[in-house]
Structure 1
Amino acid sequence: MTAQPDLARAAFTDLARHGDRPAVLSADGVLSYRELASRVDDAAARLGTARRLVVLAAQNDLDSLVAYLAALSAGHVLLLAPADKPEALASLMHAYDPDVLLRSGDGHGVPVLEERRNGSRHHLHPELALLLSTSGSTGSPKLVRLSHTNLTANAEAIAEYLGIGADDRAATTLPLHYCYGLSVVNSHLIRGAGLVLTDLSVVDPCFWDLFRDRQATSFAAVPYTFDLLDRVGFADEDLPHLRYVTQAGGRLAPEKVRSWAETGQRRGWDLFVMYGATEATARMAYLPPDLAADHADTIGVPVPGGSFRIDPVEDLADGELVYSGPNVMLGYAEDPADLALGREVHELRTGDLARRQPNGLYEVVGRRSRFVKIVGLRVDLGQVERILADMGITAAAAGTDDRLVIAVEGGHDGGILAKTLAGTLGLPRAAVVIHTVEALPRLATGKVDYPGVLGLASPEPAAAGAAGATRAAVTDHGATGTATPAGPAPAGRADDVRTIFAEALECPVVGDDDTFVSLDGDSLSYVAVSVQLERVLGQLPADWHLLPVRELGRRRKPRRRSPFSFLETSIVLRAVAIVCIVATHVELIMFQTAHLLFAVAGYNFARFQLADQRVTRLRRQLRGVARIVVPSTAFIAVAYLLTDHYTVANIFLLNAMVGPEAVTTQWHFWFVELLVYILLAVAALMAVPWVDRLERRAPFAFALGMVAIALLSRYDIVDPGLPKPPPVFWIFALGWALARARTHLHRITVSAITLVTLPGFFGSSVRDVTVAAGILLLAWVPALPVPAFLRRIIGWLAAASLYIYLTHWLVYPLLLPVHPVLAVVGSLVLGVGYWALCRWLPAAAGRLWARRFSSTARPRQAAGAPLEPR
């Protein structure tokens, strides 16, 4: 079917009529309406005239804006999806099988078009224009069907009550795929106003620099935004062009409405509190700014062109709020066949209980259908009870916009139920509170007492909600206790090599003939021990880890003060690499070094895990793997409970085997997974007697043989069988070979292999050079000079590198909105803290066990005997 232009569609897609007025203002420059129209026309021509179903992976950039307008102006049916949530995008692609996928390209207004078929396999109703996910169901197949008339009518209504004129400029503080964020775009384009296009957060100082520079006049906020505005001192910002702030996306507490309305009055801008739903294309009501301070508990009046009525509800004093207007959706879609349907809905039953005040303002007093909105997700409390009933559990669910509270009859495991429900509903685990009770609280009438259910929750302020629970969980797992990273030992102990080994390796007895390796030292404890030993002994020999305590003790010598100190190259590389990894993920720099750590891991494996006899070293190798697996799985399990980014496969380090092909948050721990796979595979290999004998006879030749075998996967001659990560064992094997190199010829050989095989592997010359330079340093430079004052810090970072890698995925997103440098520093500090905690816990448990054992083993005291002093 060929799309026919109509007046509704042209209302905000006939962009050229606004001429040279600024349409898009960004950090990169200003684009006029005429220039924007040209880019839209080009993109529309690429989409063609045959009407098709188009999915746009949207983000707040020029490419997405052009793609959105091009699809609408050409008459296609557009489904908006979030570009930053690949799981949601994949779900919608699978459910609706679109004809075309649009993505952002280079940011110059030329979106990437992925054509999946020439025509369309879908029957698309003539009125259908846009498909949006309902609030809280992004990625769900249930979509809202909107027409061009819906979009235009709501945009005109919003523009009218906000008084948007051609000189207005709105900053895009909300995502384009969210109906509220989209309504900001539509209502400004329809009036020829400007869009200050950005994806920066309001806590980023650069946002406010851009806001002032582009003379923005408004921005949109959800309730959480005001918490962020409080944090950055927005009330005192000098914003001479700010005309108004809008609020929607959930109920803002009346006291906050009053406070911000009064702030606006003092600072010269208005606060518009609004009420709406995706099903109404965005807005249904607004509270005039001059009434906000005195009527903060109301939603105001209907938007222009819309109307409310209140239908009675049996047994309730208040009725259900029903909205009518040209912005009411056509209906829902739950599968592709529904795209052929026309209008099924003529008015919107909101499910909210409301009353109309004498002054004509409407007030929402509750929910008929018992919905709550938690962290932006709409939860049906009745559905929660039905889910539990299907499990044979009698329960009553209540909640606020902060958390879900459930009373459960019987002796069920509340923790397991809460985790199951959180996963089913898509909520953070900390937002679900379950209380087991003997009987559900009930009113005198026998009905469930839902306020009583809600009262079962802990008495902490509701405002803390999930965020408070999350903070508590983080405290429990990373910031309590007295553990600190290993610093200087107390006087009289730091000079004792035996004490350093005993404390760092948790060995109660250390003999004169023991070595670091014989005491089960590994790469995780190597750094802490070497840093402490170097404070006592000065620069250590390359083979110190193989020297007995007696020999190391004889090497004790006074240290001369110097502004520089030498640290082993592998230690410095670990510290630098982990800092670069975190800084790259924060996008402070782009310097990828993760693969270099595989070379260091292979180097340390050969040094620490291949000594002694076969059975002994197999036990050591498995213990070494356990020291990686235990803290990793423990932390990932916590991350699984606190976020919706991970799966059970992540907890068991299996995502690289069973995970999705697409790169999602589930791939965050790929480095740990592949390292564990490699270590287990090599341990199994070295457990074979004839392989063990071969490695002992010719250690360097054996390591080169491992490199040669591993290169088969590097050059795709042999498929390693993993769904996504590139082969890395050959880099691990290069480090192994370096540890076994004993002559210049050996090191030259490994260096030559590195320089021949690395170029082209990563598709980035900078990354190729970075990894190659690290391996060459490992080969030829035994120690690197570092400033003396940084020596301890570098040691901590190197020792905690695994723990920093694990924890930074949860830490930096919380701090990044404040400042990238803070995100990096916070990630490093929290990672070192987790490392210290993991060192402290086993030792504390051992001391507790020893005390309990000694107390039970002590002979019983005779009756009447005096107490033995302790």
Structure 2
Amino acid sequence: MTLLPSPPARGSVLPLARTLALHGDRTALVTADGEISYRDLAERVDRTALRLGTGRRLVLLPGANDVEALVVHLAALSAGHPVLLVPGDHPEAAAALTAAYDPDVVVHPGPGQWRIEERRAGSAHTLHPDLALLLSTSGSTGSPKLVRLSYENLQANAESIAEYLGIRASDRAATTLPMHYCYGLSVLHSHLLRGAGLVLAGLSVSDACFWDLFRAARGTALAGVPYTFDLLDRVGFADMDLPHLRYVTQAGGRLAPERVVRYAELGQRQGWDLFVMYGQTEATARMAYLPPELAAARPEAIGVPVPGGSFALEPVPDEGTAAGVGELVYSGPNVMLGYARTPDDLALGRTVDVLRTGDLARRTDEGLYEIVGRRSRFLKILGLRIDPRQVETMLERYGVRALCAGDDDRIVVAAVRRPGWDVRRIRRRVTEECGLPVRAVDVRLVDELPRLANGKPDYPAVRGLARPAAKAGAGGTDSDGADSGGADSGGADSGGADSGGASAADLCALYARILDRTDVTPDNSFVGLGGDSLSYVEMSLQLEERLGHLPPNWHLTPIRELKRRRGPGRAMETSVALRAVAIVCVVGTHIRLFEIRGGAHLLLAVAGFNFARFLLTSAERRERLRRTGRGIARIALPCMAWTGFALLVDDDYDLTNLLLVHNLINPQDMGPGIHLWFVEALVYILLTMLLLLAVPAVDRAERRFPFALPVALVALGLLTRYELVGLPDRSQITDAVTVFWLFALGWAAARTRTVPQRLLVTLAALATIPGFFPGELRRELFVMAGFALLTWLPTLPSTRRANQLAGLLAGSSLAIYLTHWQIYPIFDDVSEPLALVASLVFGVVYASGVTRLTRAVRRVTRAEPVPATASRT
């Protein structure tokens, strides 16, 4: 039975939310779990609207790029209930606005269907018939000052955007911006209006999974604020194969003209348009856009008014502006009703007719508008509108006297020194209040606040206190010596548990220390910062200590999204467990304490698994190659260093071992020289992958067919596994060739996304491993069991102590493998168990020494001062 739309509450409704069913069976939403048609979406909306009832009530909704959040939002607007949209990731803001506005209905996120809490049957408020939506305009997302938007505002804004973008029913736009942000919401509304599809995901563009979903959905549209374009640069967007992309939109702050030109020209080469846009929440989102054909020629302009809108320039003689420059004033059907500061304001109708933007602008001879300055002191940083006066007031509540100024890149806080309030504590308070990353807040401690001769605040002097941009980008230090990028704010050493802090600043400090980076921000992920399998283990252990659990796919998750909570119990990454078990089995078997063979071959499969996870990211091709080369160096150089030492103390090795060519030159040698076959094989395989990925066509193929390519390489590797097509016997060629299929199988396992794919790689392993070790059934079963665990179980139940021990062994597995050949003979005649323990401990110590040396060399080559935490690591 088809549900009929619920009768609207008294007052207006939003047409685009009420007419979803008219688009029939077209795809409305594409998610990681599948597609939802407009017909299905309309039925869900209607059911939820019936649940909300017909009497108008104020509905508080945490915004999220989630099906349930979108359904509740559309249901309320289709039935005439005003929506108070709050950040879904900011519970403090939701609590503050609940207390300030006493909503009648509060929606609570949860797994599956969201819970709707009806706080009363009717409404405690007088709600104006035109009131549709309440949005925050301030970076302080818990501020009671809200923008009041009408149904006409929302519909007109969506129609205007759909018109100038030329949105088609066949388009599919990705939700790259939060739903509670007016820009992100306008993407939803404008595409739903035209019956287009939405690729609904809460993922960052720095996440490889986002691009997997975008390509699979045949995405045509991307939207971003300036920081989004920073992330696009990092992930190699320019080299991505996105055949269906039609247009990219930018708003939320000024994008540097040279970057506008670069992206406009990139779009011209690749067949998509760049729309640079200008807007404010008070205009429901958009006021101007720059036609794509003018972007490269006039990158400094905001363009022309959106359809239905118009601009005027009002003189501001007291500002000392140049001729032709005035305050930009916008008129149009998308101008807000006005502001709300208390619940009583919800009864108000229209209190403003035009929008005075506070921006100073001029009109060119071609009819384009350009912003030349700002009249008000509002800042717009990373798409957030920040009121410096509000930040000053907030700090004053804590007894900190401060003045705040800044630009579109950061806010500068000059604060009078006060016991108990250092730079880090003040910065953390501002970042939490404003929702800004650490790098966007520059705190300077002063003895007295800068004043003009007349006693008024000297804000230009405050801006002058800011550290130079170049220094900031390189991790400069604030006046008290604390690292300005948060790299020293954690204060925990690498071997101990944190005291419980898990703020974004603390986690940034942790990432900065373990990855030896000075440019860590809350929007970075482990993989995005160049993390690899060698640093993965230490990071996973440290995160579990701080967060109380290890989130799924934490290595792809931005730092700001990692939340502290207690999970159901400790867990261990399966790849970490296998590395630890495998290396113990390798050493124990060589000592003859026990016999469990196959550890080295299992490690090859794990190496392929980690190669796909950490090196085959969404970064551009050059960055992939750089990381792969660095990974090879981190394997080869410690091996060559230890081999050089071994040459001095015994005669097991020769020059071919030092140069890692012994197995290549003497594949039939079964003497001591064969000890390093595993390292040589891994280096050769990675070098081959480096050369393959250097070919643009192969790089594109891997991005487009992330699972099919390694499966094809498995098939290729099986030619040598089974000595087909006239190849020589396995004993006559280097092991790298004969074991490559295991590496490729691990790679394919990491790329599985569905049960059929997991079944395919598991069956391939079960079919091809038997017979590889003739007469060694236990060895084959060991490798097969490990591979099955790697493919099907991301984590295993564990304890804290087991995690710490496995982490030490897994993170040092390469060093243990290298050194145990020289260590265990020293103790073998005394005690075989002692020989095993000594080999493991020495390998851990050697790995730690290599890590310390590597970090020290990096600092010297970067000519950086040693950070304060270095003495404690």
Give the structure-1-normalised TM-score: 0.55
Q: In the alignment, does 2:105 pair up with 1:100? A: yes
1:292 paired with 2:266, answer no
The number of residue pairs the alignment matches comes to 541
Partner SS, residue 470 of structure 2: coil
Of the three residues 162, 182, 187, the one matched with 2:185 is 182
Change (3 A) 1:790 1:200: farther
What is the aligned partner in structure 2 of residue 85 from structure 1?
Answer: 90
Aligned residue among 311, 315, 327 for 1:312: 315
Distance 2:103 2:274 in 1: 40
- Aligned partners of 1:441 and 1:25: how far apart in 2? 55
Q: Aligned partner of 1:373: which letter?
A: K
Identity of matched residues, %: 55
Instruction: State whether residues 314 and 328 of structure 2, in contact with CA within 8 Å, keep that contact through their aligned partners in structure 1.
Output: yes
CA distance in 2: counterparts of 1:581 and 1:140, whole angstroms: 31
- 2:284 is aligned with 1:277: no
Instruction: Measure, in 2, the Cα distance between the counterparts of 1:278 and 1:212.
Output: 31
- Name 1:149's counterpart in structure 2: 152
Deviations 1:819-843 (A, max 9, x none): xxxxxxxxxxxxxx99996757xxx
Deviations 1:574-599 (A, max 9, x none): 999859955337558999476799xx
Q: Could you tell me how far 1:88 is from its partner in structure 2?
A: 1.1
> Contact 2:152 / 2:334 at 8 angstroms: preserved in 1?
yes
Query: Is the counterpart of residue 255 in structure 1 residue 258 in structure 2?
Result: yes
For 1:103 and 1:388, locate their aligned partners in 2 and report how far apart those are by CA, in whole Å: 31
Checking the alignment, whether the CA contact within 8 Å between 1:44 and 1:70 is kept in structure 2 is: yes
Displacement of 1:11: 3.2
Contact 2:329 2:355 in 1 (8 A): yes
1:715 aligns with none
Instruction: For 2:199 and 2:227, locate their aligned partners in 1 and report how far apart those are by CA, in whole Å.
Output: 21
* Mapped partners of 2:869, 2:449: distance in 1: 45
- Does structure 2 conserve the Cα–Cα contact (< 8 Å) formed by 1:144 and 1:332? yes
Amino acid at match of 1:322: V
Task: Indicate the residue corresponding to 2:354 in structure 1.
Answer: 347
CA contact (8 A) 1:43 1:66 kept: yes
Q: CA shift at 1:768, angstroms?
A: 14
2:354 is aligned with what amino acid?
A: E
Match of 1:238 among 237, 241, 247: 241
- The residue that corresponds to 2:550 in the other structure is 583
Matching of residues 557-596 of structure 1 within 5 Å = 583-584=550-551, 592=567
Q: 1:219 to 1:138 in 2, by over 3 A?
A: same
Deviation at 1:228, TM superposition (A): 0.6
The one of 209, 213, 217 equivalent to 1:210 is 213
The equivalent residue for 2:54 is 49
- Secondary structure of the 2:14 match is helix
Alignment of 1:371-520 (within 5 A): 371-381=378-388, 397-405=404-412, 423=429, 426=434, 431-434=441-444, 436=446, 440=450, 451=460, 453-461=462-470, 464=473, 472-476=484-488
* Letter matched to residue 423 of structure 1: R
1:209: how far off? 1.4
Deviation at 1:441, TM superposition (A): 8.0
Match of residue 24 from structure 1: 29
Look up the equivalent residue of 1:433 and give its one-letter code. Answer: V
What is the CA-CA distance between 1:404 and the residue it aligns to?
A: 2.9
> Counterpart in 2 of 1:627?
none
Supply the distance in 2 between the matched residues of 1:472 and 1:191 (Cα, whole angstroms).
46
1:138 corresponds in structure 2 to 141
Partners in 1 of 2:125 and 2:89 — Cα distance? 27
C-alpha distance after superposition, 1:243-292 (max 9, x if no partner): 00011111111111111111111111111111111111111111111111
Structure 2 distance, partners of 1:209, 1:340, is 46
Using a 3 Å threshold, how does the CA distance of structure 1 residues 365 and 385 change in structure 2: closer, same or farther? farther
Contact 1:59 1:83 in 2 (8 A): yes
How many angstroms does 1:389 deviate by? 9.8
Query: What's the offset of the Cα at 1:790?
Result: 9.3
Which structure 1 segments of 5+ residues have no match? 487-572, 598-765, 778-783, 800-832, 841-870
Aligned counterpart, 1:325: 332
Map Cα deviations across residues 638-660 of structure 1 (whole Å, 9 max, x no partner): xxxxxxxxxxxxxxxxxxxxxxx
Structure 2: gaps of 5 or more residues:
1-5, 497-539, 557-564, 573-793, 806-832, 849-865
Distance (whole Å) between structure 1 residues aligned to residue 363 and residue 449 of structure 2: 38
Structure 1 residue 61: deviation in Å?
1.2
Q: Is the 8 A contact 1:580 1:593 kept in 2?
A: no
Q: Deviations over 1:661-717 (max 9, x none)?
A: xxxxxxxxxxxxxxxxxxxxxxxxxxxxxxxxxxxxxxxxxxxxxxxxxxxxxxxxx
Q: Summarize the Cα distance change of 1:346–1:418 in structure 2 as closer, same or farther, 3 Å threshold.
A: farther
SS in 2 for 1:378: strand
Cα distance in 2 between the residues matched to 1:61 and 1:140: 24
* 1:158 lines up with 2:164 in the alignment: no
1:484–1:836: 8 Å Cα contact kept in structure 2? Answer: no
Distance change >3 Å, CA 429–CA 416, structure 1 → 2: farther
Q: Deviations over 1:200-251 (max 9, x none)?
A: 1111111111111111100110111111101110011111100000111111
CA distance in 2: counterparts of 1:794 and 1:583, whole angstroms? 26
Rounded Cα–Cα distance in structure 2 between residues aligned with 1:407 and 1:772: 43
CA contact (8 A) 2:312 2:330 kept: yes
Deviation at 1:27, TM superposition (A): 1.8
Contact 2:404 2:412 in 1 (8 A): yes
Distance 2:240 2:159 in 1: 31
Q: Distance in 1 between matches of 2:447 and 2:256?
A: 31
The question of whether the paired residues in 1 share the 8 Å contact of 2:329 and 2:357 is answered with: yes
Q: Which amino acid aligns with 1:79?
A: L
Secondary structure of the residue aligned to 2:551 is helix
After superposition, the Cα gap between the structure-2 partners of 1:164 and 1:338, relative to the gap in structure 1 and judged at 3 Å, is: same
Q: Mark the structure with the bigger radius of gyration.
A: 1
Letter in 1 for 2:352: V
1:69 to 46, 68, 74: 74
TM-score, length basis structure 2: 0.54
Q: Give the 3 Å change call, closer, same or farther, for CA 341–299 of structure 1 in structure 2.
A: same
SS at the partner of 1:188?
helix
Distance 1:88 1:786, change over 3 A: farther
Q: Distance in 2 between matches of 1:22 and 1:338?
A: 39
Q: Distance in 2 between matches of 1:363 and 1:327?
A: 21
Report if the CA contact (8 A) 2:7-2:79 is conserved. no
* Aligned partners of 1:403 and 1:433 also within 8 Å: no
Query: Could you say what secondary structure the match of 1:235 adopts?
Result: helix
